[in-house]
Amino acid sequence: MAVSGIFVFPYAACHPPIAWPVPLPARFSARALRWVLRVCHPCHLTALMLSHSFGQDRFHLLLSAMPRKTSPIQQVLSYWRQYCPGLGARHVQWLGQQARVLEVRRGKVLFEPGDKRDLLYFVCRGLLAVQWWDEQARRRIELLLPPRHNVATRPNLYARGQLHGEVVALRRSTVVALPVPALRALKEHSLEASTLVHVLENKRLKQYRHKEALFLLADGEERYKAFLRNEYMKELRQLTSQQEHADYLNLSRRTIARAIKRF
């Protein structure tokens, strides 16, 4: 089976296919396929198509090629560019210099009151939470933080006080940590940084508003039913267990079971 050519589909869908003539072994084999994938993988290809000729018949074989995994810092940069498409090189450089990628295991405490760390955590993978313990030693989850959510170790960039709860990983997670003093300094001189800070703070406030609306319902069963109906909470419901629901909504597992039965 002779290989007559390769047609490359770039990672960016806006570009047309590019003909890329590359010498390949005369007979197409598994070894040849591995060679093609090894050569093309660094190019961030989403697909490649090999044109073959076999006797009088011509056909095309479409092969999937895995794109290179996006790094956590690239995920933050992509998130930032959603709101600031014209992000400059100095912002990219700043992010590369200031950001620190953390791979954290389940149960790892990233921050607790009294720590000197002054950071903003952006979740790229996994699940974090802000939690604290009441007088009866019951856990209270204040915020749930799935991917693309964030939390800072202080209520806002200019607050003197710290969070009154601890930031903990509920699942194995990948997190990007940004120093709050550096982010605050950049915000004061950059519209793009000010926009990013505004978006991040609104992201947290949006969850607080939805949660406060649920707590207006004094009846526990009705509160959980409203939680099940709330479209914003759908992602949080899917990523968490019933025990985490109970700790988030200040309910017992028994109340949740009754609410589900009558829902």
In this structure, are 167 and 196 located in the same domain? yes
Using one digit for the tens of pLDDT, what is the confidence trace for 140-183?
Answer: 999 999 999 999 999 888 888 899 899 999 999 999 999 999 99
User: How many Å apart are CA 158 and CA 179, to the nearest integer?
Assistant: 13
* Domain closes at, from 202, 236, 252: 202
Residue range(s) defining the domain that contains residue 245: 217-263
On whether residue 42 sits in a domain, the answer given is yes
pTM of the entire structure?
Answer: 0.74
DSSP assignment of 172-228 equals: -EEEEEEEHHHHHHHHTT-HHHHHHHHHHHHHHHHHHHHHHHHHT--SHHHHHHHHH
What is the average pLDDT across 72-90? 94
On whether residue 136 sits in a domain, the answer given is yes
Q: Please provide the distance, in angstroms rounded to a whole number, between the alpha carbons at the two ends of the chain.
A: 62
In this structure, are 24 and 122 located in the same domain? no
Helices and strands of the chain, counted as H and E runs: 9, 12
In this structure, are 193 and 232 located in the same domain? no
On whether residue 50 sits in a domain, the answer given is yes
In this structure, are 115 and 34 located in the same domain? no
The answer to whether the CB of 71 falls within 8 A of the CB of 122 is no
Write down the pLDDT at residue 246.
Answer: 97
Sequence-separated (6 or more) residues with CB below 8 Å from residue 33? 63
What percentage of the chain carries pLDDT values higher than 70?
74
**With bands split at pLDDT 50, 70 and 90, how would you rate the model's confidence at 50?**
very low
- The residue that leads in pLDDT, 115 or 38, is 115
What is the average pLDDT across 29-36? 53
Three-class secondary structure of residue 140 per DSSP:
strand
On whether residue 170 sits in a domain, the answer given is yes
Alpha helices in the chain (DSSP H): 30-40, 72-83, 89-98, 180-187, 191-215, 220-229, 234-239, 242-249, 253-262
On whether residue 207 sits in a domain, the answer given is no
In this structure, are 52 and 99 located in the same domain? no
Write down the pLDDT at residue 43.
Answer: 37
**With bands split at pLDDT 50, 70 and 90, how would you rate the model's confidence at 76?**
very high
Written as one letter, the residue type at 146 is P
On whether residue 210 sits in a domain, the answer given is no
Find the CATH number of the domain harbouring 121: 2.60.120.10
User: How many Å apart are CA 172 and CA 12, to the nearest integer?
Assistant: 31
**With bands split at pLDDT 50, 70 and 90, how would you rate the model's confidence at 13?**
very low
pLDDT at 4 over 50: no
How many structural domains are present in the chain? 3
Using one digit for the tens of pLDDT, what is the confidence trace for 121-134?
Answer: 999 999 999 999 99
The answer to whether the CB of 111 falls within 8 A of the CB of 203 is no
pLDDT at 237 over 50: yes
In this structure, are 149 and 82 located in the same domain? yes
What is the average pLDDT across 185-193? 95
What is the pLDDT of the chain when averaged over all its residues? 81
In this structure, are 110 and 231 located in the same domain? no
